[in-house]
Amino acid sequence: MGQNDVLFERAQKTIPGGVNSPVRAFRQVGGTPRFVSKANGPYFWDAENTRYIDLIMSWGPMIVGHAHPEVVQAVQRAAETSFSYGAPTEGEIELAERICELMPSVEQVRMVSSGTEATMSALRLARGYTGRELIIKFEGCYHGHADSLLVKAGSGLLTFADSTQNAPSSGGVPQDLVKHTLVLPYNDVSALEEVFAKQGDQVAAVILEPIAGNMNLIRPTPEFLSAMRALTNQHGSILIYDEVMTGFRVALGGAQSLQGIVPDLTCLGKVMGGGMPMAAFGGKKEIMSKLAPLGNVYQAGTLSGNPVAVAAGLKTLEIVSRPGFYECLTGQTEKLMMGFKQAADKAGVPFAVDSVGGMFGLYFANEIPNSFEAVTKTDIEAFKKFFHAMLDEGVYLAPSAYEAGFTSIAHDNAVLDEIVAAAENSFQKI
> So which residues are the catalytic ones?
142, 242, 270
The strand order across the sheet containing 352-356 reads 352-356, 359-363, 405-406
Separation in Å, CA 168 to CA 128, 139, 175, 373, 402: 24, 12, 7, 17, 19
Cα–Cα distance between 107 and 97 in angstroms, integer? 9
Contact 239, 245 (CB under 8 A): no
CA quadruple 354, 350, 214, 7: dihedral positive or negative?
negative
CA atoms within 13 A on the CB side of 70: 12
Contact 377, 365 (CB under 8 A): yes
Angle between helices 307-320 and 325-347 (to 10 degrees): 80
Cα–Cα distance between 353 and 338 in angstroms, integer? 8
- Tell which residue, 299, 298, 306, has the closest CA to residue 275: 306
Cα–Cα distance between 337 and 392 in angstroms, integer? 20
Cα–Cα distance between 333 and 183 in angstroms, integer? 32
Determine which helix (DSSP H) or strand (DSSP E) holds 106, and give its type and residue range.
Answer: none
Cα–Cα distance between 250 and 356 in angstroms, integer? 6
Q: How far apart are the first and last CA of the chain?
A: 26
Cα–Cα distance between 10 and 7 in angstroms, integer? 5
Cα–Cα distance between 331 and 20 in angstroms, integer? 34
